[in-house]
Structure formats: C-alpha cells, structure tokens
Amino acid sequence: MTETAIRKSTHENSVREASKAEGVTTRKAGSIETYREEFARLPVGPEWLQSLRKQGIARFEGLGFPTTKNEDWHFTSVAPIAERSFRLSTVSESNGDNERRGAARRKGDVTNPAGITPSLLDRFQFGERDWHTLVFTNGGFAEDLSSFAALGDSVRVSSLAQAIKSGSEVVERYLGKIARFDQHAFTALNTGFISDGAFVELRPKAIVDRPIHLLFVSDGDGVSHPRNLIVAGLHSQAVFVESYVSLRDGEYFTNAVTEMVLGDGAHIDHYKIQRESETAFHVGTVQAREGRDSQLHSFSFATGGSLARTNIYTSLDGDAATCTLNGLYLTDGTQHIDNQTSIEHIAPNCPSHEVYKGVLDGRSHGVFNGKVYVHPEAQKTDGKQSNNNLLLSPTARVDTKPQLEIFADDVKCTHGATVGRLDEVAMFYLNSRGIGRDAARTLLTYAFAADVLETIELEPLRRELEKMVLARFSA
C-alpha cells in the first residue's frame, strides 16, 4: 500500500470512529477527498510556504480527525464536523447570496466579496469605532472595512497574505513554528490551508495606545482557516481583541489558529471572543511562546457554536515570564462548548494564574481540560488553576479535568474544580426581600459570571460583555 493510500485509510477510519462515538450511521467519508480537492486549488505560494502547507495537510491526513479515544478529546466528539464535506467559503457560497456577491465582484470589490457594509458590523465593535480594526470576511481580508492607518512606523500591520507576498522574513521565520501540528489535527489542517489572516509585528519598545481588533465575519456555509501571526518585540506593548462572529445562521466551520511570539519584556493582552452562529462549528487555537520577563494576559469568552472548541496554549520559555489565562463560557439548548488550556513552565521563577467559569443551561454540555506542566528546570514555579461551573438546569452537564504534572521540587502549584447549582439559601433570602424567583435567578447567575469578567482590564470590552451576559440571563 502506498503512503498516500495509508493516509487516506487512516483518515477515513477516523471519520468512522468519530461517527461511532456519536452513535450515528457513518456517511460516505468524503471529507478527505473534499479537503484534497480544495488543497489542490490553492494559489501557489513561495517555496517555504508550499513546503509548510504540504507538511500540514500530510500530517492531517496521517492523524485523521480526533476521536473520543484521544485523551484531549475524551469528552468531545467531532463527528458533526468529520461527517460533513466543507468547501472553502470563498469557493462554495450559499445560493441565496450568490446574486449579491456576484454583483460585488462585478463592481471590482474583491476585498469584500460578500458585499458586507460597515453598518452591519457596528454591533460587533463594542461601541468603539476608533480601535485599529482588521476585518476578514469568510477568512479573507476586507480592506475596505478595515482601519489601522494611524499605527505608526514602530508597528507593522497587514493581512498575512500581503505579508507573505511582500517576502517578510519575520513571517517566514515564525509562521508554523509556534503552533505545533505534529499531534493536533485541526492545527495541521489549518496549516495545510494557510492563506490569509492578520500579521502584526511590534518592533522593540513599540507601544500601541489603542486596541487592535481582529474581526472575523462568517457569511456562508463553507469552511475558513484564518491564520494569525503576532510578533511582539523587546519591551513592546499592545492589546488584541480577536472576534469570531456571524451575520446569519449557518452550518459553517471556522478553523482558526493564532501564533504569538512575546520577546523579552513584552506585554500582551489578548481577548478571544467567540460569538459564532449557534448552528456553526468552531475550533480555535491560540498558542504563545514567552520570553524573559514577558507578560501574557489572556481572556476567552465563548457563547456561540453548536460544537465549539477553544485551545489556549502557552510556554513560559524565559526566566520570570508570567501568564494569566481566564475565561467564561455560556451554553444553552444543545450546545457543546469545550475549553482546553495548557501552560508549560520551562524556565524558573514563572508564575501562572488561571480562572475559568462556565454557566450551562438547557441540555448543553461544557468541557474544561486544563493542564499545567512543570519541567525539571522550572524551579520556583507558582501555578494556580481553578475551574468553577454553574448548572442552571437538571439536564445540563459539564466535564472538568484540571491537571498538574510537576517534575520540579521547589514549586507552589494548586488546582481545583467545582460544579454546582444556584444556592437555594441565597434564593430564599432574595425572595424574602421581595425579589421574584426569576429576577433572583438572574442576579445570582450574573454575579457568578461577573466575578471573572471583572478581570478584563479593557473597560469598553468588559462593559459590553457584562451587558451581553446580563441580557442573556434575563432572557
């Protein structure tokens, strides 16, 4: 059997395994053929990019889709994704929008083929029009909807496609080097389809005074593979908001990867906001590498998607590097939202702190899997990890698995997880003060979520997310 045939057999078996995990009849395993066809249609890039793409797609075919036999996916079946044959969003467009998109192309509007107007995006911009904003529609850069001209010479911002075309040495040096895809199938798939996304380079001591908003808008039924690269130089500072949203319901698939390199003394705040359609699929990975004395503050907010998974991974490579990973996930109906974090302590004297909270209603399912790995050289590590979950209905459920793997002897590490329901004593107290049961339920649930929202230092974002959470619970 040839190597290609072996990869094909492995991949199709993974589709069948994923389907069995859901207890459904396996469809014809056409997704591998679809991805091969789409891969063959990609525009030819530089030699180094072609090599990277080929490595990615070959590794994806070798790994296949993960199944529940995989420890990192034990509580999440990807059968709904594995069974579908997604075409690239820019190739396969919904019939209802063909006329509108065709008209946009005939006008020469190639940067915004979906014909999206700025007014349609107002509700996704947190009331802040003066942020530096890069907009992507169905995975492709929409220059006419973006605004980032006032960043100055110390910061380079462009679409990834443009940076690759211009021959950026920084892109070639780091792209595909931070987000490992040897054991991560969806990252491998994204690597195979690297085409566009955001590229931001902060030169040494660059300080960006306003947030940089990367806004990814889906308006179709296909798949997009956004790839972002953020390189922060020595003692640079910036705030990033990375949003994934939809203009309408649809069974599309977003498979995104963001790579971040933090130089010595760099300070990056990164907020990932996942508000996809509740019938869509989302797999998003953020992977960072931190240098000496660098600081990474990460916050993940997930409320969309029928099946959604967010991976936040960081490695503390330099002495005294620090990271804070916080998050909030809200589920309802039959949603399944999975969060996985990994903090790898490689250098000594590195503190890490992590708080994730989940609020689950209906028949939804939440997952938290957090790992802190301490290498033998990482003495004086101070690691804290906590996951708390609130179940609002008897049919909602959550699986939580905080993990510590410690191979150093001079460390302080703690972890814990809780799963519970609303406090009936607190409910009784509020009811006795004239507050109705529904209002009391809303107040207590909001207070539970607000505790982690208060860790967001970007005030406009915190304010809008608090409004969003309160409105969701009030409804």
Length, in residues, of the chain: 475
Whether 153 has a pLDDT exceeding 50, the answer reads yes
Structure confidence at residue 428 (pLDDT): 87
The span from the CA of 458 to the CA of 438, in Å, is 31
Helices (H), 98-223: 98-106, 160-165, 169-174, 185-192
Rounded Cα–Cα distance for residues 61 and 64 (Å): 5
- Nearest residue to 67 (alpha-carbon basis) of 26, 30, 37, 33: 26
pLDDT in tens, 33-80: 888 889 988 999 999 999 999 999 999 999 999 999 999 999 999 999
Q: How far is CA 259 from the centre of its chain?
A: 11
Coil, helix or strand at residue 70: coil
Provide the pLDDT for residue 90. Answer: 63
Q: Which residue has the higher pLDDT, 326 or 21?
A: 326
At 57 the pLDDT is 96
What whole-number percentage of the chain has pLDDT above 70? Answer: 88
The values of phi and psi at residue 25, to 5°, are -75, 135
What's residue 3's pLDDT?
Answer: 45
**Residue 293 φ/ψ region, left for φ over 0, alpha for ψ in the -120 to 50 degree band, beta for the rest:** left
pLDDT for residue 177: 97
Least confident of 82-96, 326-340, 443-457, 458-472: 82-96
Say what the pLDDT of residue 189 is.
Answer: 97
pLDDT in the model for residue 294: 98
What integer pLDDT is reported at residue 206 of this predicted model?
97
User: Residue 112: what pLDDT?
Assistant: 56
Residues 422, 423, 428, 434, CA torsion sign: negative
Choose among 420, 422, 416, 418: nearest CA to 440: 422
pTM: 0.90
Q: Convert the pLDDT of each residue in 171-221 to its tens digit.
A: 999 999 999 999 999 999 999 999 999 999 999 999 999 999 999 999 888
